[in-house]
Amino acid sequence: MANLQDIGVSATINLLSALAFLVAFALLRLQPINDRVYFPKWYLKGIRGSPRRSGHVHDVVNLDFNMYIRFLNWMPAALKMPEPELVEHAGLDSAVFVRIYLLGLKIFVPITFLAFAVLVPVNWTGETLEHEKGLAYSDIDKLSLSNIPPASKRFWAHIVMFYVFSFWTYYILYKEYKIIASMRLRFLASQKRRPDQFSVLLRNVPLDPDESISEHIEHFFCVNHPDRYLTHQLVYNANHLAKLVEKKKGLQNWLVYYENKYERNPSQRPTTKTGFWGLWGSTVDAIDYYTTEVEKISTEEDVEREKVLSDPNSLIPAAFVSFKTRWAAAVCAQTQQSSNPTIWLTEWAPEPRDIYWENLAIPYVKLAIRKLIMAVALFFLTFCFMVPITFVQSLANIEGIEKVFPFLKPIIEKKVIKSVIQGFLPGIALKIFLILLPRILMTMSQIEGFTSLSALDRRSAEKYHMFILVNVFFGSVITGTALQQLQKFLNEPSTEFTKTVGDSIPMKATFFITYIMVDGWAGIAAEILRLVPLIIFHLKNTFLVKTDQDRDQAMDPGCLDFPVSEPRIQLYILLGFVYSVVTPILLPFIIVFFSFSYLVYRHQIINVYNQKYESGAAFWPHVHRRVIIGLILAQLLLMGLFSMREAEKSSLFLVALPILTIWVHKFCKGRFESAFVKFPLQDAMVKDTLEKATEPNLDLKAYLKDAYVHPVFKSSSIEQTLLIDDEENNTLVPTKRTSHRGSKLPSEDNSETDAYAGC
C-alpha cells in the first residue's frame, strides 16, 4: 500500500502535468491565430469578428508580454458571468450541466469538513495498526477505518456521521432538484415563440387505402381537435439524400484543397489517383477530376431531391402537427388519441435541431424487438467485452504479425521495435475499444429508436454509467473481469458479496486517489487545451480556407459531451460517498476535481462550446437518479464493511438508510419530475393570452411553414434565401444581432467578450 509520501509524489506529477497543460493553454489562447479554436462561441454569436488580414505579425502571434504574466486570468473571468446571463448566453443545458459540478461541491465540502473534524481524529487514535506488529501500514491507513479495532464502539461515530452525510445529501439533492425545476420552468416560460411550442410529433399514422397520409392526418385532427388544429408538416425519408449531400461536401473540400495548392504553386497542376483515398488507380488532373465529380453528384442530388419530394413512397407515416395555440399543442402531446395505443402516437415535438430524423418511422413491434436485442447486447457488452479483446490481443503478438505479413519480419525483429510492439500491442486493443465505446453505446441507443438527439444522449449516458460502475468501480474493488464478478455475485450469498466488496474497499483508497488525479485532474486540464480541434483547425486553415466564411466553417466549437462526462462525474460522486467515512483523506482530491472542472467547463461553455440542441435541462432527473444510485450503493457496501468488522449490531442500524434513500428519490420524483416531462396547461394558457394581446395579427401558419423540414431540404432553401438577402440587404443578420444587444459598437462588444474571456 502506498503511504502519504507516494501519494504526494503522484500528486506532484499529476499537478505538474495539469499545470503544463494549463500553461500551454494560456500561451496558445493568447495567440490571435488560435482565436477561433479557443473562442469560437463568440464568433458564432457574431460578436467577435475576424482580425483584418494585414499580414502583420501581431495578427498571428501575441507580442503583448503583459498578458502572459496574467496567464491564469481566465479563471476568475470564467466565474464572472452571472448565472441568468449564462443561461441566456449558452443555454440552459450547459448552465445546468456545470451545476452538476457545483452539486458535487455542495455535497462534499461540508462532508469533508465534518469528516476531518470528527472521523480523522477518531481513526487516528484507533491505535490498532501500531499494536499489530509485523504489519506494514502507511499513514493513510492510520487515517482510515482500518485503524479501528474490530467490534469497537468507535464505529458508532462512523455510523452517526454517515447518517448525517446521507441526510445532508438528501437535503442538497431536494434543494437542487427544486432549483433546477424552477429554472427550467422559468426558462420555458421566458422563451420567445418557438415552433416546438405549437407542435407535436405524430408517429405511426395508420395507412388508409382511400386517402393519402396528408389527407388522413388532416381529417383526423380536424375531427378530434376541431378549431385548434392548424397545419402539419410531412416527414420525408431523405436519408439517402443526406448521404449524397455529405459526400458532395467531402468532394468539394478536396476540390478547394487542390485549387489552393494550384494557386500557391501555379507551375504544376496537381494530380490525384481515382481509387480509394487517392492511393491507387489511374493518375488524373485533380482539379478537373473533382470538378466533374462534384457536378456529377450535384445532378444526382437534384434527381434524388425531386424523387423524394414527388414519390409518395418516400413519405414516412409520421408528421409534425401544429396547432393554433400552445394550449392545444400541450393537450395533444399529453393525451392519447386513439383507442389503439400503437397508432396516432403524439409526443412533444423536439426543437427542429434536436430531431434524429432516421428513427421517425419505426413501428411498435419492431421497436419492442430492437429494445430487447439491445438490452441483451448491453449485458454482453458490459460483462463480456474482455472476451473479444483478449482474442484480438492473442492474435496481435509478434508471431501473429510475422505470420500474416512475412515481409515485415526483418523490421520487427529489431530489438527496439520488438520491445515497443510487445509493450504497446496488448494494450492497444483495449485502448481502441475504450475510445470507441461511447460511439458504440450511441449506436446502440440509435438502434433502440429514440427520436431526438437529447434522448439519445441521455440514454447513452445511462449505458455508459452502467459500464463504468461495473468495469471501473467494481472492477477495481473486486479485481477480476466483470464476468468473474458476476459469477462471484451469483455464487456467493448477497450478504457475503457486500461483505467481500465492503472489506476490500479501504485497501483501494490509494488506487482511487491516483485514479482521480490521472483521469480527473489531468484529464480536465487536457480538455481545456483542445489539442485535437486545435490541430484540425490549423490543418483546415492551411489547406482549405479561402474566405472568412470558410474559416468560420473550419472551426469546430464542439459541445458538451454529456454521455461521457456525466457518468464520470457520477463515478466521483460514488467514490466520495463510499470513502466519506472509510478514508476521508480521499475527499479533498474529489473536491479539487469538482472545483477545477467547474472552472474549466464554465470557461468552455462561455467561450467554446456550441450546443447542438437545447433540451431545457431535461437530463436532470437522470442525474438525480444516478446520484441516488451511488448513495444506495455506498450505503449497502458500508453495511457489508461494518459487518465484516464484527460490528454486526451497528451495521443493522444502517438498514433504514437505503429504504430512506429510495423514499427520498420517490418523493423528489413525484414532486419535481413532471416539470421535466410534461407541460402544464396553465403556463401554456398564460403565454397564449399574452401573445394574443401583444400580436393579434400574427400569421402563425407562415411562421411554422418551414420549421420542421428535413435539414437537407432546408440548407438549400436557406442558402437560396441568404443569397437573395445578400443582394437585397447584406447587413440583415448583423443588424438583427446588434439591435438585440442595443446600440453598442463592435469594439465595445469585443471588450465585453474579453471581460468573460479574461484576456
Which residues contribute to the site for its own copies (CB under 8 A)? Answer: 185, 220, 223-225, 327, 330-331, 334-339, 341-342, 344, 364-365, 368, 371-372, 375-376, 489-496, 659, 663, 666-667, 670-675, 678-683, 685
Cα dihedral 584, 589, 590, 591, rounded to 10, equals 100
Closer CB to its own copies, 27 or 659, in the complex: 659
Shortest distance, CB of residue 374 to its own copies, whole angstroms?
11
Shortest distance, CB of residue 13 to its own copies, whole angstroms?
43
Q: Can you tell me the distance from the alpha carbon of 680 to that of 334, in angstroms, rounded to the nearest whole number? A: 10
CB count, 10 Å around CB of 722? 13
Closer CB to its own copies, 671 or 701, in the complex: 671
Shortest distance, CB of residue 41 to its own copies, whole angstroms?
31
Q: Can you tell me the distance from the alpha carbon of 2 to that of 583, in angstroms, rounded to the nearest whole number? A: 13
Helices 83-90 and 92-114 pack at an angle, to 10 degrees, of 140
Shortest distance, CB of residue 629 to its own copies, whole angstroms?
19
Query: Contacts from 658-661 at CB under 8 Å and sequence distance 24+?
Result: 658/632, 660/166, 660/170, 661/166, 661/170, 661/628, 661/631, 661/632, 661/635
Q: How far is CA 538 from the centre of its chain?
A: 25
Q: Is residue 485 within 8 Å of 475, Cβ to Cβ?
A: yes
Shortest distance, CB of residue 513 to its own copies, whole angstroms?
33
Report which of 466, 578, 591, 461 is spatially closest to residue 516, judged by C-alpha positions. Answer: 591
Contacts of 107 (CB under 8 A, 6+ apart): 168, 169, 172, 573, 576
Contacts of 219 (CB under 8 A, 6+ apart): 211
Closer CB to its own copies, 274 or 682, in the complex: 682
> Radius of gyration over alpha carbons of the chain, in Å?
30
Shortest distance, CB of residue 681 to its own copies, whole angstroms?
5
Residue type, 690: L
| 3-class secondary structure, 190 | helix
Shortest distance, CB of residue 440 to its own copies, whole angstroms?
21
Shortest distance, CB of residue 644 to its own copies, whole angstroms?
14
- For 748, the grid coordinates are 465595445
Shortest distance, CB of residue 655 to its own copies, whole angstroms?
11
Q: Is residue 157 within 8 Å of 647, Cβ to Cβ?
A: no
Closer CB to its own copies, 74 or 344, in the complex: 344
CB count, 10 Å around CB of 14? 21
- For 211, the grid coordinates are 386517402
Backbone angles phi, psi at 589, to 5 degrees: -65, -40
- For 146, the grid coordinates are 482500518
Closer CB to its own copies, 60 or 368, in the complex: 368
Longest dimension (CA), the chain: 90
Q: Can you tell me the distance from the alpha carbon of 387 to that of 43, in angstroms, rounded to the nearest whole number? A: 47
Shortest distance, CB of residue 702 to its own copies, whole angstroms?
26
Specify the residue for cell string 519480419.
409
Shortest distance, CB of residue 327 to its own copies, whole angstroms?
8
Tell me the CA distances in angstroms from 273 to 319, 351, 544, one per residue in order: 45, 43, 19
Report which of 517, 527, 515, 581 is spatially closest to residue 559, judged by C-alpha positions. Answer: 527
Closer CB to its own copies, 67 or 372, in the complex: 372
Shortest distance, CB of residue 532 to its own copies, whole angstroms?
40
